[in-house]
Structure 1
Amino acid sequence: MSEPTTPSTPTIERVDARHRYAIRVDGETAGFTAYRDREDRRVFFHTEIGDAYAGQGLASILVREALDDVRRAGLRIVPVCPYVAKFLKKHEEYADITDPVTPEVLEWLDGQLKR
C-alpha cells in the first residue's frame, strides 16, 4: 500500500529580474504576481495561478506575502491587477499603503510593458 503524499507548504520568492513574486509548490512554480516599481510604489498588474494548482488558495497566499513584502520595504501598493484589487477590498489592513489606480499610472505602465 502506498502512503498518501502531503503537499509541501508553498514558498514565495521575489524574483526582481523578472519583476514578480513566484509561488512554488514541491519545487514547481505554481503561479506568480507581476509588478513594476514606480518611485515608492509597487504597481501590481497581473496575477496567474497554473490550472493544475487552481482552487487551492494559492493566489491569496501569494498576494498576501507579496503585499507584506511591500510593507516591509516601505513601499506603497497600486492594484492594477483585478485579483490584487479584489484581495485588497477584503483585507483592509493594507489600506494605509494602497494608492488608487489613475490614468497616469496606467499610461506609465503601458509604456513600461511596451503595449
Structure 2
Amino acid sequence: MTEQRTDKTGAPVSIALDQDRAISAYTVSVDGGTLAGRAEFVDPPQAADERVFFHTEVAEEFGGRGLAGLLVREALTDSIRRNLTVVPVCPLFARHLKEHGDEYEAEGGKFRRPRPTDLALVKETVENAGDA
C-alpha cells in the first residue's frame, strides 16, 4: 500500500505501510523518498481485527507541513479498508478520533478506548524491538 498525497506546501509526499521492521508503521516520505515520519502500531495477536496505534512522530525538519495529520488520516482510511478496529494509544490518534470520531464511524470506521492489556502489549512490543 502506497498512497500519493500533497502536504500543506503543495509538495508531493508518499504514505506507505511498512511491516518489514520490528515495529510496523505507516510512513511518510518526501523529496523522492526521504523518510520524514512514522505512525507506529501493533496488531494484537489475540484480536486479528484490531490495530493499536501507539506513537506518531515527524522529524523536526519537516514540521509545519501537515505530515502527521496526513499519516493519521491515511492510517485511519486504511484501517477502514481492512475492517480493523482502531485502538488509539497515541495522543495524536486519540485527539483526532475525539474530534472526528463521528465522521470516522460514518465512513465505516470503528474504534475503542485503550485497555490495560493494550498498554501492556505496546510496552512488550517496544521492549522486544529494542532487543532485536
The correspondence of residues 12-91 of structure 1 with structure 2, limited to 5 A, is 12-18=15-21, 19-26=24-31, 27-38=33-44, 39=47, 40-91=49-100
In structure 2, C-alpha distance between the alignment counterparts of 1:112 and 1:80, rounded to whole Å: 13
Displaced runs of 4+ in structure 1, greater than 3 A? none
Asked if 1:112 is matched to 2:125, the reply is yes
In structure 2, C-alpha distance between the alignment counterparts of 1:25 and 1:13, rounded to whole Å: 12
**Number of the residue aligned with 1:94:** 104
| 1:32 counterpart SS class | strand
Contact kept? 1:7, 1:25, Cα under 8 Å: no
In structure 2, C-alpha distance between the alignment counterparts of 1:7 and 1:56, rounded to whole Å: 9
**Number of the residue aligned with 1:8:** 11
Runs of 5+ consecutive residues of structure 1 not aligned to the other structure? 1-5
In structure 1, C-alpha distance between the alignment counterparts of 2:43 and 2:96, rounded to whole Å: 20
How many pairs align?
Answer: 110
| 1:91 counterpart SS class | helix
| 1:17 counterpart SS class | coil
1:111 is displaced (CA, Å) by: 2.2
| 1:65 counterpart SS class | helix
Higher Cα Rg, which structure: 1
| 2:41 counterpart SS class | strand
Q: Deviations along 1:7-26, whole A, 9 cap, x unmatched? A: 63111000012200100111
Runs of 5+ consecutive residues of structure 2 not aligned to the other structure? 1-8
What is the TM-score when the length of structure 1 is the normalising length? 0.87
In structure 2, C-alpha distance between the alignment counterparts of 1:30 and 1:82, rounded to whole Å: 19
What is the TM-score when the length of structure 2 is the normalising length? 0.76
The aligned amino acid for 1:33 is: A
